[in-house]
């Protein structure tokens, strides 16, 4: 690593003051699962590291009808939370798929979102959920919708003096949810991942559908064509299959060392079909 100064502030205000003072020369250390490898490879060369692990940002609660997660909630805590499992099970499933036990024990919600890997599970889930992020600085705070937060590969709208302090999402009670991903080995980042949320009305038709895909390009994103093909229609197996095929037409992934663009396109259709089928099955099992 390149040498740097280090501070472990005891309050959010102290952390924000340090970020305001050091600006682009500073990096925030939470779980360290992304930052430490970047430091070791000298892909990140901060002059100052702000360790936020002692800050009181690890609460999970339901507030004003939304599920609120502090930025320092660990992945393992998220996966084990009874509140999250009851109110927003998509996050439970996504968290359980992250990395391995060590990564889930140390990694944080805020760290994953700020790192913005397009193949990571939590950014994908937040896009499917239409989540909102609270960003704070010494100048004040602002709320950013998830559709505006991720701006490119490993890039967000976070300013150098800002800290992601919490995220909130609407509960999905009454809906069926599912996450499907494919990776070369368990714990690896997904080549392609799909998250689906489906609600069924009293007539047995799809009332609403949300489908998000990750690992395809620089940011996880929704697939409106798939969603629109399902709304207002009975979720029959053949309709799900036809809707999933639209996912393949909506993506244009690039080839890389891990997989060809053609293979990722194939996975987009297969995983969308699987995610929708499981989400529909769970939605149909919800008591009327």
Burial 52-87 (b: 16+ CB within 10 A, else e): beebebbebeeeeebbbbbbbbbbbbbbebeebeeb
Report, as an integer, the average pLDDT of 11-31. Answer: 97
Report, as an integer, the average pLDDT of 139-159. Answer: 97
The model's pTM: 0.96
Report, as an integer, the average pLDDT of 129-135. Answer: 98
Phi, psi angle pair for 267, to nearest 5°: -60, -35
Task: Indicate if the pLDDT at residue 19 is higher than 90.
Answer: yes
Q: How far apart are CA 258 and CA 268, in angstroms?
A: 15
Q: How far apart are CA 119 and CA 188, in angstroms?
A: 10
User: pLDDT class for 286, splitting at 50, 70, 90?
Assistant: confident
Q: How far apart are CA 218 and CA 209, in angstroms?
A: 23
Domains of the chain: 5-51 (3.30.43.10), 60-169 (3.30.465.10), 176-284 (3.30.390.50)
User: pLDDT class for 288, splitting at 50, 70, 90?
Assistant: low
- In tens, the pLDDT along 252-261 reads 998 999 999 9
| Cα 13 from chain centre | 26
Report, as an integer, the average pLDDT of 124-148. Answer: 98
Please give the pLDDT value at position 58: 97
- In tens, the pLDDT along 24-69 reads 999 999 999 999 999 999 999 999 999 999 999 999 999 999 999 9
Please give the pLDDT value at position 187: 80
Phi, psi angle pair for 25, to nearest 5°: -80, -5
Task: Indicate if the pLDDT at residue 153 is higher than 70.
Answer: yes
Report, as an integer, the average pLDDT of 170-190. Answer: 93
Please give the pLDDT value at position 162: 98
- In tens, the pLDDT along 79-121 reads 999 999 999 999 999 999 999 999 999 999 999 999 999 999 9
Task: Indicate if the pLDDT at residue 188 is higher than 90.
Answer: no
Task: Indicate if the pLDDT at residue 157 is higher than 90.
Answer: yes
- In tens, the pLDDT along 193-248 reads 999 999 999 999 999 999 999 999 999 999 999 999 999 999 999 999 999 999 99
Please give the pLDDT value at position 129: 98
């Amino acid at each position: 690593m390149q040498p740097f100064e280090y501070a472990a502030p005891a309050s959010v205000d102290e952390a924000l003051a340090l970020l305001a003072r050091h600006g682009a020369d500073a990096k925030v250390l939470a779980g360290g699962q992304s930052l430490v490898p970047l430091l070791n490879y000298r892909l990140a060369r901060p002059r100052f590291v702000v360790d936020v692990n002692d800050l009181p940002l690890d609460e999970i609660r339901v507030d004003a009808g939304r599920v609120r997660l502090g930025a320092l909630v660990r992945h393992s805590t998220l996966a084990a939370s009874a509140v999250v499992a009851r109110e927003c099970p998509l996050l439970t499933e996504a968290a359980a798929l992250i990395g391995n036990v060590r990564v889930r024990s140390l990694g944080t919600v805020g760290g994953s979102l700020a790192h913005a890997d397009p193949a990571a599970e939590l950014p994908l889930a937040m896009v499917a959920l239409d989540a909102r992020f609270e960003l704070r600085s010494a100048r004040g705070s602002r709320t950013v919708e998830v559709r505006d937060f991720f701006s490119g590969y490993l890039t967000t709208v976070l300013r150098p003096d800002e800290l992601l302090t919490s995220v909130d999402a609407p509960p999905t009670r009454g809906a069926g949810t599912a996450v499907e991903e494919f990776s070369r080995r368990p714990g690896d980042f997904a080549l392609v991942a799909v998250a689906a949320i489906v609600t069924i009305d009293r007539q047995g038709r799809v009332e609403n559908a949300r489908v998000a895909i990750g690992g395809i390009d620089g940011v996880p994103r929704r697939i409106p064509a798939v969603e629109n093909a399902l709304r207002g229609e009975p979720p029959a197996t053949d309709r799900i299959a036809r809707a999933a095929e639209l996912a393949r037409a909506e993506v244009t992934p690039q080839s890389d060392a891990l997989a060809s663009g053609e293979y990722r396109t194939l996975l987009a259709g297969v995983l969308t079909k699987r995610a929708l089928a499981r989400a529909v099955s769970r939605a149909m099992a919800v008591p009327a």
